Every structure is written in structure tokens, then in C-alpha cells.
């Protein structure tokens, strides 16, 4: 089976497992795991942020960011396609007691004027507009990218309006790869950043939340109350460090392969349209997503039906050049 359902399906490679086996660990609830600390410090330095917090998932990391930076009765602004709104079980309401106001950006990429329209006046009967969450790349938008200039413009606007700005950077390394900029270029733009190491980078689990020292101190407590205080989590952090040191540059292979798949899909009369492919996600429209996914699965290619008419394919570390050839053959054969 060739599994293109998600870039989360990768399994740790032998050298990654080696790195995990040799990790120097301690009890991280006592702040005594040197490998977790090394990962948190490494990520903070990489993005020019003050501090980091290792979290078991990107969902928890996003949810902590919302909880740590809002009060009940606050409202966050995000795009209708974003993960925080769609795929985190309404956690913003459950954990933080906040509401959401949605923009309709281009493939999930919000413009400053769209964000501006969401800001509520200061009245008793309105929620308090507190925070803006952007996602780069936008999963549900087909892996669409915010450019550095777009992020800078949103950041400047949020500073002017006194709004907290969070980056859901589950796939920010994919964006940085295409933009050909270093993570350091984002320094100073965001109040908090969540990065996932378990997506394209191929670690088995783990996300890192970045922010200033005081925000991360509060976040540690929230992580604990959510049940995310882990003990010898250095074994996982070692996998994340390995991924950050070895699997970042190769993301361009995933991007090229996604584009190649999209180019073939575009030639098929059973494909109505393909969202522009910017990174490692291919979303295309068919008559019946379930049927198309089943036809592909019958020929050994697993995909995700993303709505009744949309199918998603995601390229990743364990999707090889040979698998690309096979996938293209299968698409031709349908």
C-alpha cells in the first residue's frame, strides 16, 4: 500500500530510532530531561523566540497558546479553513471559553483587511477581540503559503491593534522551504508559534510551542492541567531533534512530487479541478470523493476523502520516487 492520506503516517527510520535509543533522559515534570530542554532551546533559538515547550501534539500546543493568551469572553480571529476551528474538537470553547470569528481567505490565507473587518467594537454586548491565529501552510487550503511579506503585514497590523498573533506552524518548515528563508526570518512577528515535528519532518510524535519566557511559564502549567506533562519524554525529543537536523531540506522532494501528481491529475477527465499545489498537499475535486478514494485504494493508493467532492493526497518522507511512479501509473489507469 502507498499511503498518501497524510504526512503523519511516517514511521521512524533506523537512524532516528538509534538517536532515540541513545537519548539522555530524565523526568521532565521535574524539568530534568536534558534532551527535552535541548529540543525546546534549539527550536526557540531557531525561530528567534525566548522559550519553548515540548507538547505531545500540535492540537495541545495550539490549545495551550489560545488558553495562555485569552480570557473567557474573548474572541479569536482565524480563517474558516483553519485547523484550530475545524479539527480541534471546538477546544477553543471547551478549554478557553472563547468564540471564533472566521474570515474567508484565499485557500485559507487571510488578508489584513479581512482581519480588520472581524474586529468588534468595544461594547458590553460584543466579545473582546483578542487574538489572531494564522496557519502556515494551510492544510485545508491545499498547503497554501503565507509569504514573509504577508506575515509581516499581519504582524504589523496586530501590533497596531494590540492583538495577540499566533502562528499554527504545523507545516511551517514546508512554507520556509518554498520561500527559501530561515526560521529566524519570523523572529519578532508572532507572540506564539506552534511547530509540529510529527508531520513532514517524520518524528513519531511531538510539537513545540514557542513564546516569551513568561508565556511559556504559564503554558507549562496549562500543559500539566491538560494532562500533557510527560516524564522521560527525551526519547521523543531525541526523535524530534534528529528530524530537525536531517529531514528539513528534503521537504523540497515532497513538494516536487506533489506537483508531479497534480500535473497528472490535471490531465484526467474524471478530475474536475486541482487546487494550486504550493507544498506537499494535493487537493482535487471529483464527482464523488468516497468512490474515487475507494477506486484508488483498490489499486493500492490510500488517500483522504476531504469532503463529498474533494480528495486529499499528501507527500511525505516515506513516499519514495518508485512510489511516485506507481501512483502516477495508477492515476493514468483509472
Ligand X SMILES: *Cc1c(COP(=O)(O)O)cnc(C)c1O
Q: What is the Cα–Cα distance from 209 to 2, expressed in whole angstroms?
A: 32
Indicate the residue among 203 and 271 with the shorter CB distance to ligand X: 203
Stretches 33-41, 144-152, 193-201, 219-227: which one binds ligand X (CB under 6 A)?
Answer: 193-201
C-beta of 99: minimal distance to ligand X in Å? 19
| Sign of the dihedral defined by the CA atoms of residues 49, 54, 60, 63, in that order | negative
Interface pick for ligand X out of 78, 132, 158, 170 (rule CB under 6 A): 170
Q: What is the Cα–Cα distance from 161 to 235, expressed in whole angstroms?
A: 42
C-beta of 171: minimal distance to ligand X in Å? 6
Interface pick for ligand X out of 207, 279, 280, 292 (rule CB under 6 A): 207
Interface pick for ligand X out of 69, 139, 155, 303 (rule CB under 6 A): 139
C-beta of 301: minimal distance to ligand X in Å? 21
Q: What is the DSSP-derived secondary structure letter of residue 138?
A: B
Closest CA to 23 of 232, 319, 312, 178: 232
Interface pick for ligand X out of 134, 196, 239, 282 (rule CB under 6 A): 196
In this structure, are strands 164-169 and 192-196 parallel, antiparallel, or unpaired? Answer: parallel
Q: What is the Cα–Cα distance from 312 to 293, expressed in whole angstroms?
A: 9
Contact predicate 216/50, CB 8 Å? yes
The partner residues of 195 in beta bridges, in order of sequence, read: 169, 208
On the 0-12 / 13-18 / 19+ scale of CB atoms within 10 A, 81 is buried
C-beta of 67: minimal distance to ligand X in Å? 15
- Angle at Cα 116 formed by Cα 139 and Cα 219, nearest 5°? 60
C-beta of 330: minimal distance to ligand X in Å? 25
Stretch 47-76 residues interacting with ligand X (CB under 6 A): 57-59, 62
C-beta of 140: minimal distance to ligand X in Å? 8
Cis peptide preceding 311, ω within 30 of 0:
no
Stretches 27-35, 194-202, 234-242, 288-296: which one binds ligand X (CB under 6 A)?
Answer: 194-202
Indicate the residue among 108 and 234 with the shorter CB distance to ligand X: 108
Cα distances from 11 to residues 3, 203, 205, 220, in angstroms, run 12, 7, 10, 28
Q: What is the Cα–Cα distance from 175 to 215, expressed in whole angstroms?
A: 25
Q: How many residues bind to ligand X according to rule CB under 6 A? A: 13
Closest CA to 131 of 163, 169, 159, 153: 163
Indicate the residue among 254 and 331 with the shorter CB distance to ligand X: 254
By CB under 6 A, tell whether 327 contacts ligand X.
no
C-beta of 9: minimal distance to ligand X in Å? 12
Interface pick for ligand X out of 135, 191, 254, 278 (rule CB under 6 A): 135
Stretch 77-116 residues interacting with ligand X (CB under 6 A): 83
C-beta of 143: minimal distance to ligand X in Å? 10
Q: Three cell numbers at 30?
A: 521535574
Contact predicate 294/279, CB 8 Å? no
Residue nearest to ligand X (CB): 58
Contact predicate 61/207, CB 8 Å? yes
Indicate the residue among 132 and 331 with the shorter CB distance to ligand X: 132
Indicate the residue among 5 and 268 with the shorter CB distance to ligand X: 5
Q: What residues line the site for ligand X (CB under 6 A)? A: 57-59, 62, 83, 135, 139, 168, 170, 196, 198-199, 207
Amino acid at each position: 500500500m502507498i499511503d498518501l492520506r497524510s504526512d503523519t503516517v511516517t514511521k521512524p527510520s533506523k537512524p532516528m530510532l538509534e538517536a532515540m535509543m541513545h537519548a539522555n533522559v530524565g523526568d521532565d515534570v521535574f524539568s530534568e530531561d536534558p534532551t527535552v530542554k535541548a529540543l525546546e532551546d534549539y527550536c526557540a533559538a531557531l525561530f528567534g523566540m525566548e522559550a519553548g515547550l515540548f507538547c505531545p501534539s500540535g492540537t495541545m500546543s495550539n490549545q495551550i497558546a489560545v488558553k495562555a493568551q485569552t480570557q473567557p469572553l474573548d474572541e479569536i480571529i482565524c480563517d474558516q479553513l483553519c485547523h484550530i476551528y475545524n479539527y480541534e474538537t471546538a477546544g477553543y470553547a471547551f478549554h478557553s471559553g472563547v468564540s471564533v470569528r472566521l474570515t474567508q481567505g484565499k485557500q485559507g490565507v487571510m488578508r489584513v483587511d479581512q482581519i480588520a473587518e472581524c474586529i468588534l467594537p468595544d461594547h458590553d454586548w460584543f466579545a473582546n477581540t483578542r487574538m489572531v491565529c494564522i496557519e502556515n501552510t494551510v492544510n485545508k487550503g491545499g498547503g497554501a503559503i503565507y509569504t514573509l511579506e504577508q506575515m509581516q503585514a499581519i504582524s504589523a497590523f496586530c501590533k497596531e491593534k494590540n492583538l495577540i498573533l499566533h502562528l499554527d506552524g504545523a507545516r511551517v518548515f514546508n512554507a520556509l522551504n518554498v520561500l527559501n528563508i530561515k526560521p529566524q526570518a519570523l523572529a519578532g512577528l508572532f507572540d506564539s508559534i506552534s511547530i509540529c515535528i510529527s508531520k513532514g519532518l517524520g518524528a513519531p510524535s511531538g510539537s513545540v510551542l514557542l513564546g516569551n519566557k513568561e508565556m511559556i511559564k504559564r503554558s507549562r502549567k496549562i500543559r500539566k492541567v491538560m494532562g500533557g506533562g510527560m516524564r522521560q519524554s527525551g526519547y521523543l525529543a531525541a526523535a524530534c531533534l534528529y528530524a530537525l537536523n536531517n529531514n528539513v531540506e528534503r521537504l523540497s522532494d515532497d513538494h516536487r512530487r506533489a506537483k508531479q501528481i497534480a500535473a497528472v491529475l490535471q490531465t484526467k477527465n474524471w478530475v474536475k479541478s486541482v487546487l494550486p499545489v504550493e507544498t506537499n498537499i494535493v487537493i482535487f475535486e471529483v464527482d464523488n470523493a468516497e468512490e474515487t478514494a475507494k477506486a484508488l485504494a483498490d489499486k493500492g493508493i490510500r488517500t483522504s476523502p476531504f469532503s463529498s467532492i474533494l480528495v486529499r493526497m499528501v507527500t511525505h518522507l516515506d513516499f519514495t520516487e518508485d512510489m511516485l511512479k506507481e501512483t502516477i501509473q495508477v492515476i493514468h489507469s483509472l
